[in-house]
Amino acid sequence: MTRESRRKTDVLVLGAGIVGVSVALHLQKRGRSVTLIDRKAPGEETSYGNAGLIERASVIPYGFPRELPKLLRYALNRSADARFHWSFLPRILPWLGRFWLESSAGRLRQAALDMLPLIENSVTEHDALIREAGAADLVRRRGWIEAYRNEAAYARAQRDARALDEFGLRYDLLDDRGLRGKEPHLSGAFSGAVHWLDPATVTDPGRLVKEYAALFMRKGGLFLQAEVTGVAQARGGWSLDAGDDRLDAREIVVALGPWSDLVFSRFGYAIPMAVKRGYHVHFQPLPGAVLHRTVVDVERGYLLAPMARGIRLTTGIEFAHRDGAATPVQVGLTEPSAREIFPLGPRIDATPWMGARPCLPDMRPVIGPAPRHRGLWFAFGHNHHGLTLGPVTGRLLAEMMTGEPTFANPAPFAVTRFA
Ligand SMILES: Cc1cc2nc3c(=O)[nH]c(=O)nc-3n(C[C@H](O)[C@H](O)[C@H](O)COP(=O)(O)OP(=O)(O)OC[C@H]3O[C@@H](n4cnc5c(N)ncnc54)[C@H](O)[C@@H]3O)c2cc1C
């Protein structure tokens, strides 16, 4: 790529995770010349290490729990599914307070309705890119399983699933026999399970992002591997310091996931983004053992996903500083439970991977223009569902940027809700 060709770029997209790559593809589809920039190769951060669910069934965002026993366990920092660094607690408390307020039944329902068009189109928008990218081998169509050890918890889960019938989700309720019919190598630890049928799963999310990025490049898009250090308004557009280069464009999109504050703080946007850290580690299955679908062991707070690399155990939430040292306590807490339910062999990874889910307290991402800076656009904060929502975000933002009618109402995602 020559300096000259860079100068002609219409749009600079910062961040080549699932969100940035999807934005780049959708802008390109609409005739924009796009340069995509990341300090690593595409899909090597949060979008690499997730659980691989294209979560069409998550119509209700993950709110702050309100059941007293759960709250007590959380408060005592005794839960495997959500933990915090004591020293970080004073910093995160105001955010948690806001998250709590946003998690009332009424507000959660409004969040669900706002997010619905994105969730409903999540699999179909991925499918369009998967077809074009030739990445069908990375995707499975078997849904995922939410398994319960305790009868009462399973009864509640059945009621909760039925309460979602208005959203038209497809699911099977499985007793122990039904569950073992689908997953013969799971132990008998479970009373029952909900098998969500609509979601797709990805066996290597990082590679999926790389395939999407390869499609973008095949179609003439430019990818530059460089650290973004400075962003500035210049000559009616934007200029960017990335490594040794200076790039110019009319417009710029911030899709830096948990690092998006690098730009939004610099331009004075007080967006309450926090991170929920999470870990994964891979295991070899013992010879002959097969896990066909992703299984969540709900009461024990972890998930097992059959991935290309092995069986991936992912953990729940850790509230800690984004850049603080890894403390994979939750991996240690959940591994014995995972070994109890499935014949796991040795760990494949020497050390657990750690990532940071970029989260807003109202459980909606920020998608849209920065109101005080013409040509600056935001696409970040996808919480637990960034892999799911990457392509729909790309489409929505590209439609907004090119003045097309939008497939979903973008108002709930406007950054002005925090201003
Ligand atoms: C344990 C775990 C499990 C999860 N499971 C799921 C799941 O099953 N389904 C789901 O939908 N979501 C899941 N998520 C959430 C999902 O992974 C994220 O929401 C999503 O990956 C965010 O994508 P992104 O593109 O915004 O960020 P990222 O993938 O982090 O991309 C941001 C990019 O910005 C780049 N960058 C940062 N700073 C700079 C800089 N200064 N210069 C240049 N480049 C820079 C980084 O290198 C990175 O590539 C999970 C997350 C975790 C942690």
Of 206 and 9, the structure prediction assigns the larger pLDDT to 206
Confidence at 242, pLDDT banded by 50, 70, 90: confident
The binding-site residues of ligand 1, defined as CB within 6 angstroms of any ligand atom, are: 15-20, 37-40, 44-47, 49-53, 55, 227-228, 255-259, 262, 278, 280, 314, 355, 357-358, 380, 382, 384-388
What separation in Å is there between the alpha carbon of 83 and the centre of ligand 1?
A: 20
- pLDDT at residue 8 in the model: 64
* Shortest-distance atom of ligand 1 to CA 305: 8
For the cut 60, the answer to whether the pLDDT of residue 45 exceeds it is yes
- pLDDT at residue 79 in the model: 82
Q: Which of 139, 262, 357, 366 to mutate to test the pocket of ligand 1 (most atoms within 8 A of CB)?
A: 357
Out of 85-89, 205-209, 310-314, 405-409, least confident range: 85-89
Give the tens place of pLDDT for each residue, 326-362: 999 999 999 999 999 999 999 999 999 999 999 999 9
Atom 12 in ligand 1: residue holding the nearest Cα: 385
Atom 30 in ligand 1: residue holding the nearest Cα: 46
- pLDDT at residue 107 in the model: 96
- pLDDT at residue 202 in the model: 98
What value does the mean pLDDT take over residues 122-132?
A: 98
- pLDDT at residue 243 in the model: 81
Confidence at 3, pLDDT banded by 50, 70, 90: very low
Separation CA 308–CA 290 (nearest Å): 12
For the cut 60, the answer to whether the pLDDT of residue 408 exceeds it is yes
- pLDDT at residue 1 in the model: 45
What separation in Å is there between the alpha carbon of 356 and the centre of ligand 1?
A: 7
Cβ–Cβ contacts within 10 Å for residue 161, how many?
A: 18
- pLDDT at residue 235 in the model: 80
What separation in Å is there between the alpha carbon of 257 and the centre of ligand 1?
A: 5
Separation CA 179–CA 232 (nearest Å): 56
Confidence at 239, pLDDT banded by 50, 70, 90: very high
Of 87 and 244, the structure prediction assigns the larger pLDDT to 87
Q: What percent of the chain has pLDDT over 70?
A: 98
Q: Which of 14, 36, 46 to mutate to test the pocket of ligand 1 (most atoms within 8 A of CB)?
A: 46
Give the tens place of pLDDT for each residue, 173-225: 999 999 999 999 999 889 999 999 999 999 999 999 999 999 999 999 999 99
For the cut 50, the answer to whether the pLDDT of residue 6 exceeds it is no
For the cut 80, the answer to whether the pLDDT of residue 303 exceeds it is yes
* Shortest-distance atom of ligand 1 to CA 381: 26
- pLDDT at residue 7 in the model: 52
Contact 115, 386 (CB under 8 A): no
Q: Taking all residues of the chain, what is their mean pLDDT, rounded to a whole number?
A: 94
- pLDDT at residue 36 in the model: 98
- pLDDT at residue 74 in the model: 79
Of 116 and 245, the structure prediction assigns the larger pLDDT to 116
Q: What percent of the chain has pLDDT over 90?
A: 89
* Shortest-distance atom of ligand 1 to CA 228: 42
Contact 56, 116 (CB under 8 A): no
